[in-house]
Amino acid sequence: MHIREIYVYATPLGAKTTYNMSNSTVETPVSTIVAVVDSDGLVGFGEACLASPQFQPAHNSGVRASLEILAPAILGHDPKHVTTINAAMNRALTGHTEGKAALDIACWDLAGKQLGVSVVDLLGGAQMDDVVTYHVVGISSADDAAATARRLQDEGVTRLQLKAGGRPIHEDIASIHAVADVLLPGTDLAVDTNRGWSTTEAVQVSQACSSITMSLEQSCATEAELAHVKSQIQHPIIVDENATDLGSVARMISSGLANGFGLKLTRLGGLTAMRAVRDLCMATRTPMSSDDAWGGDIVAAAGVSLGATLDPQFSRGAWLAHPYHDTHYDETNGPRIIDGFATLPAGGPGLGLVLETAQFGDPVAVYR
């Protein structure tokens, strides 16, 4: 049951409403979907979708270009051998974790289908039936941010991520205070700057919000800048964009820099890489999220599947893009958010989705 052929599809997933982060806006990302077919005709699906060219050092067209090298490198392999498959991809191409992630996720889905078990079970088993989700309050006026925070909490959301950065910091400080004023007991607040503040701004915001219980997520651009502000701020530091691999996560845990992580499947390279980071974070009692920056049901199912295997005490939850683009590849089994929790797909083995290659249109590339 080796990998016989790989199909690549391109599917637009445009934001249905304005989605603003510091220095970037999500417009119409084109998701890359891969269908990995084995010698018995079983199909595993993977996906990678970058939110915006400014957010990550990669590009959706680049994902598909990387597959020109990566896909031929894994033909003939057993999809259950994810370690050797990742080694083959790393030998063939340095970097380009997003294309590797798409193929890696497809191999986990296909392995589950070959074995008749879920990816959750392959990852070690669920520690929760559904996964708490966090939701974004985009960059907006203080009044609008507070109104969005109220609405989301009315919908059952208990974890809010307020975007900040890319504007005068007095506006960020006003939004933080406005949202903090409407927080219900038990709601967790993280202020995510997506690398947008200078070190001086991060310190000023932390001091101006000293009375507010919150985390500061990726306040500055680099790990060195975060280390610089660490001793000058009182709020916990969550690292997202600078957590690029197992080595960087290990370094920031052992140095005491990171109080937790926002982790993206495609930045790390897929479920195999994420599994290793998960084991490190859980062993060191370090909170982490399991999600991605954008994407459809496939990457969401992968993120929720891994998210369900976390120790609930150290889960920062999952983020799903579909409320922001309203697209489902599997209308029945695609992960849904109900009362702030994401459901696990229940459509059968693998990722639990029921998908057909034909629904994604004509492939943009075929490797066999």
Q: Are strands 131-132 and 341-342 parallel, antiparallel or unpaired?
A: antiparallel
Smaller CB separation from Mg ion, 88 or 164: 164
Active site residue 100: no
| Burial of residue 190 (number of CB atoms within 10 Å: 0-12, 13-18, 19+) | buried
Examine residue 223 and tell whether it contacts Mg ion (CB under 5 A): no
Which residue is listed with tokens 């507070």? Answer: 146
Examine residue 240 and tell whether it contacts Mg ion (CB under 5 A): yes
Query: Least distance to Mg ion from the beta carbon of 158, Å?
Result: 18
Active site residue 163: yes
Nearest Cα residue to 188 out of 214, 162, 164, 163: 214
| Burial of residue 303 (number of CB atoms within 10 Å: 0-12, 13-18, 19+) | buried
Q: Which residue is nearest to Mg ion (CB)?
A: 240
Query: Which of 198-206, 256-264, 290-298, 350-358 is the region at the interface with Mg ion (rule: CB under 5 A)?
Result: 256-264
Smaller CB separation from Mg ion, 172 or 217: 217
Query: Least distance to Mg ion from the beta carbon of 240, Å?
Result: 4
Smaller CB separation from Mg ion, 261 or 329: 261
Query: Least distance to Mg ion from the beta carbon of 306, Å?
Result: 17
> CA separation (Å) from 19 to 22, 170, 229, 323, 358?
10, 21, 28, 11, 30
Query: Which of 91-99, 214-222, 242-250, 289-297 is the region at the interface with Mg ion (rule: CB under 5 A)?
Result: 214-222
Query: Least distance to Mg ion from the beta carbon of 160, Å?
Result: 13
Q: Are strands 365-367 and 3-12 parallel, antiparallel or unpaired?
A: antiparallel
Active-site residue, selected from the candidate residues 100, 113, 163, 230: 163
Smaller CB separation from Mg ion, 262 or 340: 262
Smaller CB separation from Mg ion, 172 or 240: 240
Which neighbouring-strand residues pair with 9?
A: 33
Query: Least distance to Mg ion from the beta carbon of 233, Å?
Result: 17
Query: Least distance to Mg ion from the beta carbon of 209, Å?
Result: 18
Q: Binding residue for Mg ion (CB under 5 A) from 165, 262, 270, 317? A: 262
State which of positions 48-107 bind Mg ion (CB under 5 A).
none
Query: Which of 172-180, 237-245, 292-300, 323-331 is the region at the interface with Mg ion (rule: CB under 5 A)?
Result: 237-245
Site string for Mg ion, 164-203 (x = CB under 5 A): ----------------------------x-----------
Query: Least distance to Mg ion from the beta carbon of 217, Å?
Result: 5
Which neighbouring-strand residues pair with 341?
A: 132, 338
Examine residue 291 and tell whether it contacts Mg ion (CB under 5 A): no
Buried b (16+ CB within 10 A) or exposed e, 260-274: bbbbbbbbbbbbbbb
Query: Which of 51-59, 197-205, 209-217, 333-341 is the region at the interface with Mg ion (rule: CB under 5 A)?
Result: 209-217
Residue type, 215: S
Q: Are strands 315-317 and 43-48 parallel, antiparallel or unpaired?
A: unpaired
Smaller CB separation from Mg ion, 260 or 262: 262
Smaller CB separation from Mg ion, 104 or 240: 240
First to last CA, the chain: 15
Q: Which stretches of the chain are DSSP H helices?
A: 60-74, 82-92, 97-115, 119-122, 142-154, 169-181, 199-208, 223-230, 246-254, 265-268, 271-283, 297-307, 322-325
* Token pair for 132: 């708490």
Examine residue 297 and tell whether it contacts Mg ion (CB under 5 A): no
Residues that bind Mg ion (CB under 5 A): 192, 217, 240, 262
- Active site residue ranges: 163, 264
